[in-house]
Amino acid sequence: MPTILAGEDAMQACLAAVRRAPRATALFCDIDGTIAPIVGHPADAVVPTRFKTLLRALVTRLGSVAFVTGRALDDGRRMVAVEGAAYVGTHGLQILTADGSSFTEPQAERYIDVVQRIAALAAEELADLDGVVLEDKRTVLAIHYRLAPDADRARHEIVARVVEPARAAGLAISTGHFVYEIRPPVPVTKGTATRRLLAGRDLVTAVFCGDDLTDVTGFEAVHRWAEADARRYACAVAAVTAETPPPVTEAADVQVAATEGMYEFLSRLLAAAGG
């Protein structure tokens, strides 16, 4: 079965750009679903060793490599465990550059105290609810209720006891599958973090690999960055399964099978970079 599903020409153009100037190439890479196969429980997800080996080699050859995740930064870093790379956590709110400087997106920084106040409230108010799991990502509080025996009741109580007070305190709320996320009300995305990491660098090629809706902001960020200068080249690579949301494939230049095709693509990238 082919692992490169669409965009062969775009891939060849990308590889040619990397071949011309590997040290002027930036690689941005999502973790879950892109280099770590999706599993039932996110805590069980791992980046396979062969991916880590490949990514370590890419770090030595390319201008920069960054891992960009919705997980807390430290969690993403623990999973990938590749030195010399930048890490972006909580969808752009936390950034650790390759030279080791770590910061919270400045516009979100001033909300940390209030997020932490809501985290303390949640720990107290939700303690009696079975199957409700809090994930404190410092700048973001995630409240998971997938394991609750009565999900409707859990959702009702979470909203009444924590989501409403969080909203009243000026925080933004996003919902997902059996999860509420309480976050600073600022327009920070994987795309804004990508732009921040590209800014002021002497780079000509940027590649963003991802698999989900939040990665589309990264795809758009590298495309816009390339449009701003005729010498620049950008490539968005989607790791695709039967469940991939259409906006992801529509925004991608290259589609590969998750995660086997991503391994193939990154191997070709390494070969183009002389590794």
């290259």: which residue's tokens? 254
- Number of H helices and number of E strands within the chain? 11, 13
Active-site hit among 9, 30, 150, 215: 30
**Should residue 220 be labelled a site residue for Mg ion when binding is judged by CB under 5 A?**
no
Tell me which stretch binds Mg ion (CB under 5 A): 186-194, 203-211, 254-262, 264-272.
203-211
**Should residue 32 be labelled a site residue for Mg ion when binding is judged by CB under 5 A?**
yes
Closer to Mg ion by Cβ: residue 67 or 111: 67
Closest CB 70 distance from Mg ion, rounded Å: 7
Tell me which stretch binds Mg ion (CB under 5 A): 114-122, 143-151, 197-205, 212-220.
212-220
In the list 7, 30, 35, 105, the residue contacting Mg ion (rule: CB under 5 A) is: 30
Tell me which stretch binds Mg ion (CB under 5 A): 47-55, 110-118, 163-171, 210-218.
210-218
Closest CB 239 distance from Mg ion, rounded Å: 8
**Should residue 76 be labelled a site residue for Mg ion when binding is judged by CB under 5 A?**
no
Structure tokens at 270: 């390494």
Return the residue nearest Mg ion (CB atom): 33
Closest CB 255 distance from Mg ion, rounded Å: 15
Distance separating alpha carbons of residues 97 and 79, to the nearest angstrom: 17
Pairing of strands 141-144, 102-104: unpaired
User: Interface with Mg ion by CB under 5 A: which residues?
Assistant: 30, 32-33, 211-212
Active site residues: 30
